[in-house]
Amino acid sequence: MAPMTEPLVDARFCAPHARTFTVTITNGWPWRAFTVTDEARGKAVMRVKASIASFCRRYRLVDAASRRTVVTVQHAPSLFVPDRRWEAFRGASTSPADLLFEAVAQPALFNWGEIDVHLAGRDPSERLRQREFVVVCRGPAQCTVRRRKPDGAAAVVAKIEDTSERRLGYSVSVSPGVDHAFILALTVILDEMRLDEPRG
């Protein structure tokens, strides 16, 4: 599996080997909380907390050791893609200058479909780049995160498996060299998007 060429959040989250995390939902609606455990080490590495003071749905991914916010994700509804757009920012910021990426669910989600991931632009005049990652879901249990390659192919960089039948949460497998803070932020967004889907 091809690694990312650069960290998205921070180089310290890019391990040279594959890693697997358990994302356990520790609190239900409306203020959901998550604990992220490194399966190899058997200890919590991140906690995800809802921001109850925010007018929109907002979550902070907090490093378990330093207790510093690594990534903030928030729901960003618009007239054109209602209830299907989320933004991620560096640290505790929600300033456009600290935007990391935007995730937009395609209309087929979840019967099942794709989430387009656009990284922030490289300069102030470019807010977002073209779609560089896509989360492809083939049913309610498994999703893959793929990165577009220059030749048009897509390399799988992570897998997100719903483990609700065994425990309430997800198993997240991250390829070598891939920024796992980025993948874990996508996992939280994926979970929130699933909550928005009508139950039929």
Establish if 32 belongs to a structural domain: yes
pLDDT in tens, 81-119: 555 889 999 999 999 999 999 999 887 655 567 899 999
- The β-bridge partners of 185 are none
Residue whose token pair is 């993948």: 183
Domain CATH for 149: 2.40.160.200
Give the whole-number percent of the chain exceeding pLDDT 70. Answer: 80
Average pLDDT over residues 130-138: 87
Q: Establish if 1 belongs to a structural domain.
A: no
Contacts for 191 with CB less than 8 Å, ≥ 6 apart = 25, 32, 34, 170
The number of beta carbons lying within 10 Å of the beta carbon of residue 74 is 20
Whether residue 36 contacts residue 28, with contact meaning beta carbons closer than 8 Å, is answered with no
Residue-averaged pLDDT of the chain: 84
Question: In the chain, how many domains are there?
Answer: 1
**Quick one: pLDDT at residue 17?**
93
Reported as a single tens digit per residue, the pLDDT across 14-31 is 999 999 999 998 876 667
5 lies in some domain? no
CA dihedral angle for residue 55, residue 84, residue 131, residue 10, rounded to 10 degrees: 40
Top pLDDT among 22 and 154 is at 22
Q: Is residue 175 part of a domain?
A: yes
4 within a domain of the structure (yes/no): no
Find, among 121, 115, 97, 117, the residue nearest to 191 by Cα.
115
Stretch 51-69: mean pLDDT: 86
The parent domain of residue 101 ranges over 11-196
Q: Which of 59, 123, 66 is nearest to 94 (CA)?
A: 59
